[in-house]
Amino acid sequence: MPFVNIYATKDSYITNIHDSNNGSAPNLWLGRTDSLSSWYYRILTYFNLAPVMGKQITEASLRFYHYSGNGNDLTFSVHCITQSWSESTVTWANQPNFSDTAAQTFTLQAYPKIGSAGWRHFNVTSLIQDIVHNSRTYHGLLLRQPGSTYETSQVFTSRETWEGLSGDPVLVVYYKSGFRVRVDGSWRDGDTYVRDGGIWKPGTVYTRVDGTWRQGI
């Protein structure tokens, strides 16, 4: 099945511990570091969905490289950011608006329990389908720990960690071969028709590849 890797073009973490910008930091912090002081970390990231707009999304996986952390397992929620923001200026005080209702919620095992760094995968299929198929307002994703009294903070690499894409946050999107059309404000599965004997009949698109006709998109 066709798929595309969409790497983050913006990412940052914000915290209420200090109101400074962390857009160029090599890591992304998520969670809460002190149950008494209510010190929180949130992650903001942006994936350009242009390569999959209009396609039939079948699966989407949000992936971060997890390399450090402490405390308990982390339950976090993913929200759609609904306002534009800048990687180089975003802080806790000027963080963009985001949907109050969590699009999806996940639980990540604490790093000390896992014992080794690695990629963590989170299935965000329903969220990406909603954005792509229903034109949901989207300026990126915000990850946060819902209100809680327990301490946990987990750390991921940001797109600034290494040159290249080896540790960048990535959204892997699978889609069906085919196309979608915009009808009455909604994306719907499209159909191909051919004219045969003066009558329109359902057809199939084929492309010529290496001398062979193959079913196309």
Tell me the CA distances in angstroms from 205 to 78, 80, 126, 176, one per residue in order. Answer: 38, 36, 28, 14
For residue 135, the model assigns a pLDDT of 84
Mean pLDDT, to the nearest integer, of 154-165? 82
Q: Do 55 and 27 contact (CB within 8 A), yes or no?
A: no
So what's the pLDDT on residue 191? 57
The whole-number average pLDDT for the span 87-99 is 97
Predicted confidence (pLDDT) per residue in 104-153, tens digit: 899 998 887 888 889 999 999 999 999 998 889 999 999 998 865 567 88
Cβ–Cβ < 8 Å for 81, 142: yes
Task: Give exposure, 41-54, as e/b (b: 16+ Cβ within 10 Å).
Answer: bbbbbbbebeebee
Q: Could you tell me the pLDDT band of residue 214, with boundaries at 50, 70 and 90? A: low
The pLDDT value recorded for residue 142 is: 97
pLDDT, tens digit, 9 for 90 and up, residues 33-74:
765 567 899 999 999 999 998 888 999 999 999 999 887 888
The answer to whether 42 touches 171, Cβ cutoff 8 Å, is: no
Q: pLDDT value at position 151?
A: 74
Q: How many angstroms separate the CA atoms of 78 and 163, rounded? A: 27
Any alpha helices (H) in 18-162, and if so which ranges?
Answer: 111-114, 125-134
pTM: 0.80
Torsion angle in degrees (nearest 10) through CA of 31, 32, 33, 38: 160
**Per-residue pLDDT at 134:** 87
| Residue 71: per-residue pLDDT | 76
Average pLDDT on 149-166 reads 79
The answer, yes or no, to whether residue 9 has pLDDT greater than 80, is yes
Decide if 176 contacts 55 (C-beta within 8 A).
Answer: yes
Q: Is a pLDDT exceeding 70 seen at residue 182?
A: no
What is the predicted pLDDT for the residue at 217? 46
* Maximum average pLDDT range among 24-38, 65-79, 158-172, 195-209: 65-79
Q: Which domains does the chain have, with CATH numbers?
A: 3-176 (2.60.120), 180-217 (no CATH)
Whether residue 163 has pLDDT greater than 60: no
Q: Are 22 and 95 in contact (CB under 8 A)?
A: no
What's the chain's length in residues? 217
Kindly state the average pLDDT of the residues 168-190: 75
The mean predicted confidence, pLDDT, of the chain is 85
Number of helices (H), then strands (E), in the chain: 2, 17
Burial group, residue 82, by CB count within 10 angstroms (0-12, 13-18, 19+): middle
Q: What stretches of 43-190 show up as alpha helix (H) in DSSP? A: 111-114, 125-134
What is the reported pLDDT for 205? 58
